[in-house]
Amino acid sequence: MRLIGIDPGLQRTGWGVLSVDGSRLSHVGHGVIVSDAKLPLAERLRQLYQALTEVLVQWQPAEAAVEETFVNKNPTSTLKLGQARGVLLLAPAMAGIPVSEYTPNLIKKSVVGTGHAQKAQVAMMVTTLLPAAGAVKDDAADALAVAICHAHLRRSQQIIAQADRKADQKSGQIRGTAR
């Protein structure tokens, strides 16, 4: 199964696609979408939407994960980032792709082991976990980290759900034999 991680930004949006087979992760592709800072906001948002839609069509992920927004010191920048995130959440949703969201600290903890890791540490771990990706930097590395986080948490959720189903079946069998 393929999944895409998205590191949202109005100027630069990173994306990274992984193939997931059980607990095995494989790098499929990654890149950065850049909007034209000279254009009005609405046009820049359109650029993000169209470019991400093209990525989704090309790589065909089954699930998407997006990094949640952190509060910025500049309220205008935070608002614009929120608008960009909205467009980047909309693109996979419009394609019928389920979207999950994760906080930056959870992503860093899932990939590096500490929630307050530096960008260089995240990039190094992404390269270590996905050697076929090569030396990935900044936005694309962050997007791959989002995808890795989603793959790990998704796998954990599947294992828990499977254990719950088995427990339900056993309790049903026990109740069924007691009659």
**Is 101 marked active-site?**
no
Rounded distance between C-alpha atoms, residue 90 and residue 13, angstroms: 14
Does the annotation count 168 as an active-site position? no
Catalytic residue among 7, 43, 164, 168: 7
Catalytic residue among 67, 68, 142, 164: 67
CB 65 within 8 A of CB 3: yes
The answer to whether 36 is a known catalytic residue is: no
What does 85-151 look like in DSSP terms, one character per residue? Answer: HHHHHHHHHHTT--EEEE-HHHHHHHHTSSTT--HHHHHHHHHHH-GGG-S--HHHHHHHHHHHHHH
Q: Which of 36, 139, 142, 164 is catalytic?
A: 139
Catalytic residues: 7, 67, 139
